[in-house]
Structures are given as C-alpha cells and as structure tokens.
Amino acid sequence: MDPKGIDASVPGTALRMPPTDTSSTDGAPVLVVRDLSFTYPDGQPGLRDVSLALFPGERVALVGPNGAGKSTLMLHLNGILRGHGDIQVLGLPVVEQHLPSIRAQIGLVFQNPDDQLFSPTVFEDVAFGPLHMGLMEEEVCVRAARALNQVGMAGYAERLSYHLSVGEKKRIAIATVLAMEPVLLALDEPTAGLDPRARRTLIRLLADLPVSALVATHDMRLVQELLPRTVIMDEGRIVADGPSDIVLRDAALLEQHGLEAP
C-alpha cells in the first residue's frame, strides 16, 4: 500500500483520501478543511464530513457528477456558505472576524463570469477588490495593471465588460482576484462554455500563474494537462484523492462516480 493510501490492484477503489494531519508534511498548508458538513434549507445534504488539505504550489482538480458538492465546498472556503466543521486558510479559521483577510487570500472565480463583473469598465472591475482592501490609490492601480497583464488583457482596461467574449470575460474574472494577490485560486468550471482556442488560452494562463489552485471541473483533459492531484466528490463526500495520473487510469473508479477518462 502506497503512503497516500493507493492500492492500484483493486479496480474502482484505488484511492483513499489522505489524512489531513499535516504535522509530518513539509510546509504549512494553505487550506485545511476538517469534517465539514452542510445541509441546505430544504433538508438536502450538500456536504458530508469533507476533509481536505492543500499545500503551497499544489494544483488540485475537484471532480464529480453534477450535485456532488463541488461548488458547495468552494462557497465555504471564504464564508459565503457556513456549515459544521473546521476550515482554516493560512492557519486562520473561517469565522466572521477573519473574513476580510480570508476573502483576500482565497481568489474565488465563479463559473459564470457575469456574476463577477459588474463595473462600467474592465479596469474598475479589476480594481474593485484592492480598493475595498483599503489600499492607496497608487497601489490599487499598480495591482490592477499587473493583474490585467498576467491574464493577457493589458489593453482592455477601458473596455466595457459586457462587450467581451466569454473567454475574455473569464480572464478578466481571474484578474479581479489576482489583483488581491491571493494564495489560492478556487475556480469553478473555468473552461465551461469556451471554444477550443479560448480553452487553450485559458489553460496556458492557468499553467503560468504562480499560485496554488483548486479547480472544480468536468473537463478531464484539463485535469490531465494541468492538475497533478485529483479529488473526486460524489453525494457530498470525498470518495478518492490522489495523483491524477493514477486516478485517470482507473476506469472503474471514474465510471462509478459518473466520470469519463480523457
């Protein structure tokens, strides 16, 4: 048995979630989730005892069928939803007094960029986060310009967001969180709705970003190309967690949880 709990000789059960005890791991975790559960107001369970740890520089895929709990988990990371359990970002518990700091450290990018872009111009959208962090105007402008450059949109500052393509909007949405200099990007279906050219552009962008990333996606080719670790969720639980090259070869495991190999 591998130290991560992988037994590749048993099809469909090859991966078990590694423990979230980080005492023996080099480097402090960026994110720790322990025993997180959440029930929607209608009584439907959204998360069931979810535990997860991410370390600096990790790029992790979060995959599973619709309704598995991926987006619900994402919305807990910066306190938009509140469940029962423990979440820590850079050692800070996700509780009311720490939310302003935590929301600057977790760059949450929604599946639909129109949910994130609401200002008259692209520059104002990207500057919004740093401005509300209380930074001086000069620093806000520097951060906004740098974030736009990072996503290859430096010439779009004065453009109107609603005139952009879906791919351009997604890059601008990423810039809005990069401007706050987060330690973790949490991206919900970043390639959904993109044509092949826009998809390749976005993948190249994500590959070059120097931050940890948790990416909820159905795009298994994206996982194969960009994300070395894969977490599978189903019915609100984490059912597998391990190296993507092993997860993606386990056809029985993928089929069991409504997924297809790339």
pTM: 0.87
**What pLDDT shows up at residue 246?**
95
pLDDT at residue 59, rounded to an integer:
95
| Alpha carbon distance 208, 151 (integer Å) | 9
How confident is the model at residue 178, as a pLDDT?
A: 94
Look up residue 65 and give its two tokens.
Answer: 């069928």
Q: Each residue's pLDDT tens digit in the chain (262 positions)?
A: 333 333 333 334 445 544 344 333 457 899 999 999 999 999 999 999 999 999 999 999 999 999 999 999 999 999 999 999 999 999 999 999 999 889 989 999 999 999 999 999 999 999 999 998 889 999 999 999 999 999 999 999 999 988 899 999 999 999 999 999 999 999 999 999 899 999 999 999 999 888 899 999 999 999 999 999 999 999 999 999 999 999 999 999 999 999 988 8
| Structure tokens, 1 | 């048995």
What does the alpha-carbon distance between residue 59 and residue 53 come to, in Å, rounded to a whole number?
A: 12
CA-wise closest residue to 70 among 190, 160, 150: 190
10: which residues sit within 8 A by CB, 6+ positions away? none
Q: In this structure, are residues 55 and 212 in contact, taking their beta carbons and an 8 Å threshold?
A: yes
* Of 66, 54, 68, residue with least CA distance to 20: 54
The residue length of the chain stands at: 262
What pLDDT does 127 receive?
95
pLDDT of res. 210: 86
In the numeric block, which tokens belong to residue 42?
Answer: 């209608």
Domain extents in the chain: 1-90+188-193+210-262
**Alpha carbon 186 to chain centroid, angstroms:** 2
Alpha carbon distances (Å) from 210 to 49, 102, 124, 134, 202: 30, 19, 24, 24, 15
Q: What is the pLDDT of residues 146-181, one digit of tens each?
A: 999 999 999 999 999 888 999 999 999 999 999 999
Q: Tell me which architecture the domain covering 1-90+188-193+210-262 has in CATH.
A: 3-Layer(aba) Sandwich (3.40)
Number of alpha carbons in the 13 Å side-chain half-sphere of residue 142: 6
The rounded distance, in Å, linking the Cα atoms of 58 and 190 is 17
Instruction: Find all residues with CB under 8 Å of 5, minimum gap 6, and list them.
Output: 15, 16, 17, 18, 242
91 phi-psi bin (left φ>0, alpha ψ -120 to 50, beta other): left
Whole-number pLDDT of residue 13? 42
β-partners of residue 69 are none
- In the prediction, which pLDDT does 14 show? 45
